[in-house]
Each structure stands twice: as structure tokens, then as C-alpha cells.
Amino acid sequence: MQELTQILEHFTEGFQSLTIASLTHEKTPYISYAPFVKYENEYYIIISQMAKHYHNLKENDDASIMFLEDESKAQSIFFRKRLSYEVNVIFGEVSSEVIEAFKQRHGHMIDQLLTLDFVIVKMKIKKGLLVLGAGRAYVVNENEQIVDQAGRGQGHQR
């Protein structure tokens, strides 16, 4: 379990952006991406107020985010490593420390974006899933702790 905890703690370090899935006004799925930072075990994204997912998230604060292993690095296209979370989206004031974390990770273009129509949004984790390969999927709780193996005893059915 210690090894899995280490993998989970460091999984997102190589990513500059995350994939975000939201629901449109018509309740159809929409997927896009956004640059992110992780600050004090919370995920934050920066998005334009003109972006479709901004409007989706304002209307429905439930979303999913995912970090997906690059195809060129995957041992198998069928079992790419990935970490996904169901999240609640929180709009509001963001601390100067979070803005500084964005600058450190993504450069000073953040200052320019924030003078335009971009906002920083918090993603509060509800639950997640870490997949490391065939038969290696783990349930993650809201505190980013592995709590169980996913699908224990079920396997793939024909």
C-alpha cells in the first residue's frame, strides 16, 4: 500500500494541464482541458469566462477531471495509467499563494490572463479512481487516499 500511496502522491507532477468534463445546459457531456496547479492538496484550474466549460461549470458545479498517461509512454494503449476525480467546482476569491503557484508553474503569462477574462477555479475532490494497468484500479477518497481496489472480485465479464 505504501508504494501505491507514493504513486498517487506524485502522479500529477508531470502534467501541466488536466482534462475536464462538464455538462452543457442540455445535459450533454462536454470535454476540454485547462492548465492547473495543485496547492495545499487542492486542484485549481485557470479558464476563460468565454470558454464553453466555464459556462457549463457555472450552471452545474459537478464535473470530472482526469490526468491521462501519454500514449507514447504507455506500455499498452488499452491500459494507459490515469487518475480521475469527480469534483465540485468552487468559484470565488483565490489566495495570492494560489496565483503565485500558477506563476511558478506556468510563467508570468498568468498575470496577463488574469487582467483579461480568465479566472481561477477550485476543484474540490469528491472521489476518484487510479488506474495503473490491467486489474490494477484503486478507489481514491476525497482526501486523495487509496481506500480499496476497484471492482474487487468482479473481473471482466463476457
pLDDT in the model for residue 97 = 97
Dihedral pair phi/psi, residue 84, rounded to 5°: -130, 150
Q: What's the mean pLDDT in 14-25?
A: 96
Q: DSSP class of residue 56?
A: H
pLDDT band at residue 39, thresholds of 50, 70 and 90?
A: very high
Cα(139)–Cα(130) distance, integer angstroms? 7
- Domain ranges in the chain are 2-149
Question: C-alpha cell of 89?
Answer: 467546482
Q: What is the CATH number of domain 2-149?
A: 2.30.110.10
Cα 80 from chain centre: 16
Q: 31: which strand partners?
A: 21
